């Protein structure tokens, strides 16, 4: 069983006016087979957590630790984290003109496995993964994210998730901008990935609608750079009904 453990994590974001403290002592432990939903208002630090775990240079860890299977994640480079089994589906995936989806996927798989996949079986894997995301066969020949709709970008990331087999997937607002049909397709991709009980998901979202399709093991309320409360799936429904106001007010009172 794999474990991702975050202990008292403090992080600054580097801005033009200097460092700004965003994460103020995050504690969270996630294991294989679990789905942890991170919910909270804008500016609460959810995406900062995602990009810090992935190793974005804009985010500076000032305290605490993160380990994955006992190894110091923060000591790893970005590519080492990916090879160790960490995957980030970004809220705003970047375009890579001139690099086809098929070449991108095969290069990523080669970097993770240490050897290129056999072409005959690889083509079948890619075609099957694209079909599960309702993407046309010619999608593999397009440049990565260039001219993609919002839904195509998110479904492409779910294709990566299926083909790269990471231990832990961090999905940063994967439901953002999706219509109901695209949301169902993306959710099906996540659930397909979760059929392997050695996998785990950190699902960052504002809304509970995606939790109707992906069952959360735990729901964490993120406010002012901390986990304000943790509960089961029922906490998500409570947030849908009541919002974040009481948590925001409590954070202000404790500031």
Q: How far apart are CA 213 and CA 216, in angstroms?
A: 9
Tokens of 87: 């995957």
Spatial CB neighbours of 233, under 8 Å, sequence gap ≥ 6: 211, 215, 216, 219
pTM over 0.85? The answer is yes
pLDDT at position 37 over 80: yes
Q: What pLDDT score does 218 carry?
A: 97
Q: Distance of CA 111 to CAs 77, 107, 163, Å?
A: 14, 6, 13
Quick one: pLDDT at residue 255? 67
The tokens for 16 are 């033009």
Residue count of the chain, please give it.
Answer: 255
Kindly indicate the confidence band of residue 65, based on its pLDDT and cuts at 50, 70 and 90: very high
| 11 three-state secondary structure | strand
CA dist 109 and 103 (Å) reads: 10
**More confident call, 175 vs 62:** 62
Q: How far are the Cα atoms of 56, 160, 190, 212, 226 from residue 169, in angstroms, in the given order?
A: 16, 11, 9, 19, 21
Could you give the CA distance from residue 205 to residue 37 in angstroms, rounded to a whole number?
A: 7
Taking only the tens place, the pLDDT of each residue in 186-241 is 999 999 999 999 999 999 998 889 999 999 999 999 999 999 999 999 999 999 89
Strands (E), the chain: 3-15, 18-31, 35-39, 59-68, 71-72, 86-89, 96-100, 143-144, 168-172, 200-205, 218-223, 226-231
Q: What percent of the chain has pLDDT over 90?
A: 83
Q: Which tokens sit at 52? A: 């810090």
């Amino acid at each position: 069983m794999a474990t991702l453990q975050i202990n008292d994590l403090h992080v600054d974001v580097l801005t033009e006016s200097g460092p700004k403290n965003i994460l103020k002592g995050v504690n969270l432990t996630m294991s294989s087979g679990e789905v942890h939903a991170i919910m909270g208002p804008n500016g609460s630090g959810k995406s900062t957590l995602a990009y810090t775990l992935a190793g974005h240079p804009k985010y500076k860890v000032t305290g605490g630790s993160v380990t994955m299977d006992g190894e110091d994640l923060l000591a790893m480079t970005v590519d080492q984290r990916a090879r160790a089994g960490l995957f980030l589906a970004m809220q705003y995936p970047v375009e890579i003109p001139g690099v086809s989806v098929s070449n991108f996927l095969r290069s990523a798989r080669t970097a993770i496995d240490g050897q290129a996949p056999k072409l005959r079986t690889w083509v079948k894997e890619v075609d099957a993964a694209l079909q599960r995301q309702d993407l046309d066969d010619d999608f593999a020949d397009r440049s990565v994210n260039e001219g993609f709709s919002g839904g195509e970008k998110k479904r492409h990331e779910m294709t990566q998730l299926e083909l790269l087999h990471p231990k832990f997937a961090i999905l940063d607002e994967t439901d953002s901008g999706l219509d109901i049909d695209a949301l169902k397709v993306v959710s099906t991709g996540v659930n397909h990935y979760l059929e392997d009980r050695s996998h785990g998901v950190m699902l960052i979202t504002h809304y509970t609608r995606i939790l109707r399709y992906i069952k959360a093991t735990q729901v964490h309320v993120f406010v002012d750079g901390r986990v304000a409360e943790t509960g089961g799936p029922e906490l998500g429904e409570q947030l849908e009904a009541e919002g974040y106001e009481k948590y925001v007010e409590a954070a202000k009172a404790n500031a």
